[in-house]
Structure formats: structure tokens, C-alpha cells
């Protein structure tokens, strides 16, 4: 069995090391590129959302490198993600690719089926071995997300923000040649030390922007045109409302009660959107309020074109902006998104937030509040 999976931000780093530690042969998907998008767009239904098209491109690139088994999580409810595995299998079958899908459906879809699929994919034969492997994978996911956030914060304060880019790019290149979980953790420790050694300007007071919206467009840098990096070079600290760590904390490690942070977002969203609308629509609304209460300067919603849950959330965000006095910008992404216009909007939004902060500072000085 030669395993691959969709490329989702830094998940491939933890996934590759985790599976290799269990003795599996892994063919990680190449980092997403224009080639990936072109392949996926060519073979996907036109009306499917951007993440689906990227996934198809990921699979075909990996299959051509020898992969024969695809791991993917499942879903349910009013979101097309629940149909991904079925549609993707049909597309690959029609193209003549002989691959097997192993789907990790939500636990409430059947504990036995989920356990069997996990044991088959991970090559574990006992519950104890599964727990041990799960704990190790959890360390890898948390460490990977920590490095991403550390790079975002360091970039905003760095004297030379492009040095952070060099460190992270070298890290991603080294990942491809690193085998096994222990070696991967050692590499991550080295990258952490390098980031902490970057010279920073403690006098800087960067604006803070929360990234909210659909999970894939938040996490995958190719899809969001590396928004974290772009905003960091503009002097902004970026925090993502959804990360692999937050997803696992809410849906796995704290199941069935959920994580404290996500439950708080549900509570905040309830007056505006009291029920599930699929995807992460409810979380998007709650996250906008959450970041407002944490003192962030603004939020940016990211969503793929035709994403129904995020379209619902988008219609509510102007009310959140008014009620909580926090600037909100929505960026819709598809295969036709141009970088020049995207950059112009980001620059304008950052300028707006800086002016708004300065106005508040002057008001406090003049009126003493």
C-alpha cells in the first residue's frame, strides 16, 4: 500500500512523518501549484468548489508518482465535502486510475467502521498501538501548527521579514527528505530555534488580523495566495480561526463535548445564526465576534466560490461589523483569482485598519476614554 492524501497546508508534514513512523510507505502530494490547479480544473465539474479541484490535482500528481491508496476524512450535513470521496473516486475511475479510497467518516456515522478504517490505513493491530500512534501524531500536528503561527508572529516583528520566508522555505524543502516522525520533530526543533533567533524590533506595534472562513481556504497557502505571508510583510500579525490543531481538539480529543474555544464561538454566533448551516458557516460568524472581543483590529473572511455555508455567513458579517465595530473584508477565491487585485485589496484593508487604530488613539487622547 502506497498512501497519499489531499494537500492541506502543513498537514502533509505531520501526516507523512506519522505514517512513516508506523511503517507505511507514503507518497505525499507535491505542494500545490498552478499545475495542480490546472489538472484539477480540467477533470472536475465546473460548479464544484476550489478545494475539490485542488484535491483532484493532488491525487493525480501523487498517483503518477506511484500512490495507490488515498486517505480522506468524511463529513455529513449541508456541505458538499461529504460527497468528495464518492465524486473523486468516480472521476479517477473514469480516468483509468486504479486507486482505493479509505474514508474516515465522523464517529457518529459508526464507531466500528471508523476504527476498522483507521487500523487498516495506519497498519495498527491493537487499540493500545492505535492510542500510542495517535498521541505521537498529535504531537506532530501541534508542533507543525505552532511553527506556522510562530513564523507569522516573527514576520510581523522582524527587522528583515523576508528572512522568515527563507527559513520556512528551507524547512519545507527539508521535509521532503526527512523520513520518520522522530527525525521530523528534530527538524521542527531546529526550525523553531532559527525563527527565535531572527532579529526583531520590539518597538513595532503590528495590527492584528483574524482570518476566518472555510477551513481549506484558511489553511492552504496556495489557495489563499499566501495571505499570511503577504500580511506579515505589511506588518500585521495573523491568526487563523481554524487550524488542524483546533479541528482535532474540537472533533477528536474533546469529543463529544468539543473544545472550549469552538464552543465559545458557537455561543457568540447563536444570536445571529442559531443552527448548523454546514461547513464552517457558524464558526465564521462566531470567530468574527471572538476576534472583536480579543481586541483584533479586523477580520478577513476567505471562502471558495459557490461555498454555500460561507455565503450564509457572509450575509451576516455586515451586521457583525456594525454591532461590534470591527472591519470585515471578504475575499472569494477560485481558479480565476488574480494576485494583483488581491494584493490591492489587502493593502487597502491594512491601511484602513491602521487609520482606524490611529483615530481611536487620538479620540482617547482628546476625550480621555
Which pLDDT tens digit goes with each residue over 288-347? 999 999 999 999 999 998 888 999 999 999 999 999 999 999 999 998 888 899 999 999
Q: Looking at residue 317, what is its pLDDT?
A: 97
pLDDT digits (tens, 9 = 90+) for 24-67: 899 988 899 999 999 999 999 988 889 999 999 999 999 999 99
Rounded-to-integer distance, Cα 27 and Cα 23, Å: 13
Domain limits of the chain?
A: 1-123, 141-200, 205-368
Rounded-to-integer distance, Cα 118 and Cα 130, Å: 8
Q: Looking at residue 96, what is its pLDDT?
A: 95
pLDDT digits (tens, 9 = 90+) for 186-236: 999 999 999 999 999 989 999 999 999 999 999 999 999 999 999 999 999
Q: Looking at residue 76, what is its pLDDT?
A: 64
205-368, CATH topology level: Rossmann fold (3.40.50)
Three-state SS for 77-99 is: CCCHHHHHHHHHHHHHHHCCCCC
Q: Looking at residue 320, what is its pLDDT?
A: 97
Tell me the mean pLDDT in the region 276-294. Answer: 93
Rounded-to-integer distance, Cα 236 and Cα 231, Å: 5
pLDDT digits (tens, 9 = 90+) for 78-132: 677 878 888 999 999 999 999 999 888 776 666 777 777 877 787 776 777 777 7
- The length of the chain is 369
Pairing of strands 2-4, 69-73: parallel
Mean model confidence pLDDT for the chain: 90
From the number of C-beta atoms within 10 Å of its C-beta (0-12, 13-18, 19+), residue 146 rates as middle
* Cis-peptide into 256, omega within 30 deg: yes
Positive or negative torsion for Cα 200, 201, 202, 208 = negative
Q: Looking at residue 318, what is its pLDDT?
A: 97
**Fold match flag (1-123 vs 205-368):** yes
Q: Looking at residue 197, what is its pLDDT?
A: 97
CA distances from 176 to 64, 85, 135, 183, 207 (A): 17, 26, 23, 12, 34
Tell me the mean pLDDT in the region 135-143. Answer: 87
CATH architecture under which domain 1-123 falls:
3-Layer(aba) Sandwich (3.40)
Q: Looking at residue 369, what is its pLDDT?
A: 57
Q: Looking at residue 78, what is its pLDDT?
A: 65
Rounded-to-integer distance, Cα 6 and Cα 36, Å: 11
Strand pairing partners for 302?
A: 213, 331
Check pLDDT > 60 for residue 158: yes
What's the grid cell of residue 327?
A: 472591519
Question: 11-21 and 181-196 helices cross at what angle (nearest 10)?
Answer: 140
What's the grid cell of residue 212?
A: 476566518
Residue with cell 490547479: 37
Amino acid at each position: 500500500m502506497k498512501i497519499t492524501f489531499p494537500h492541506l497546508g502543513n498537514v502533509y508534514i505531520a501526516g507523512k512523518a506519522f505514517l512513516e513512523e508506523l511503517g507505511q510507505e507514503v507518497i505525499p502530494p507535491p505542494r500545490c501549484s498552478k499545475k495542480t490547479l490546472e489538472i484539477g480544473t480540467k477533470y472536475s465539474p465546473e460548479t464544484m468548489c476550489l478545494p475539490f479541484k485542488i484535491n483532484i490535482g493532488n491525487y493525480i500528481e501523487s498517483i503518477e508518482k506511484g500512490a495507490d491508496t488515498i486517505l480522506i476524512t468524511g463529513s455529513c450535513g449541508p456541505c458538499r465535502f461529504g460527497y468528495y470521496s464518492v465524486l473523486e473516486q468516480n472521476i479517477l475511475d473514469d480516468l483509468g486510475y486504479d486507486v482505493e479510497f479509505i474514508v474516515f467518516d465522523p464517529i457518529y456515522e459508526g464507531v466500528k467502521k471508523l476504527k476498522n478504517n483507521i487500523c487498516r490505513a495506519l497498519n495498527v493491530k491493537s487499540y493500545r498501538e492505535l492510542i500510542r500512534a495517535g498521541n505521537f501524531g498529535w504531537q506532530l500536528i501541534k508542533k507543525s501548527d505552532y511553527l506556522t503561527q510562530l513564523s507569522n508572529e516573527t514576520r510581523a516583528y522582524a527587522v528583515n521579514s523576508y528572512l522568515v520566508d527563507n527559513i520556512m522555505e528551507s524547512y519545507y524543502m527539508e521535509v521532503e527528505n526527512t523520513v520518520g516522525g522522530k527525525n521530523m520533530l528534530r527538524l521542527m526543533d531546529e526550525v523553531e530555534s532559527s525563527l527565535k533567533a531572527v532579529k526583531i524590533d520590539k518597538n513595532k506595534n503590528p495590527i492584528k488580523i483574524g482570518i476566518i472562513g472555510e477551513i481549506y481556504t484558511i489553511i492552504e497557502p496556495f489557495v489563499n495566495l499566501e495571505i499570511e505571508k503577504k500580511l506579515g510583510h505589511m506588518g500585521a500579525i495573523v491568526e487563523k480561526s481554524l487550524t488542524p490543531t483546533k479541528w482535532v481538539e474540537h472533533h477528536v480529543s474533546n469529543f463529544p463535548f468539543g473544545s472550549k474555544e469552538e464552543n465559545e464561538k458557537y455561543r457568540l454566533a447563536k444570536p445571529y445564526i442559531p443552527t448548523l448551516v454546514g461547513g464552517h458557516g457558524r464558526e465564521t460568524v462566531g470567530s468574527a465576534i471572538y476576534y472583536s472581543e480579543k481586541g483584533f483590529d479586523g477580520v478577513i473572511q476567505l471562502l471558495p466560490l459557490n461555498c454555500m455555508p460561507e455565503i450564509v455567513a457572509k450575509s451576516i458579517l455586515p451586521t457583525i461589523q456594525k454591532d461590534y465595530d470591527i472591519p470585515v473584508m471578504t475575499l472569494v477565491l477560485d481558479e480565476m483569482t488574480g494576485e494583483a487585485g488581491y494584493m490591492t485589496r489587502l493593502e487597502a484593508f491594512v491601511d484602513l485598519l491602521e487609520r482606524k487604530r490611529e483615530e481611536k488613539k487620538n479620540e482617547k487622547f482628546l476625550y480621555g476614554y
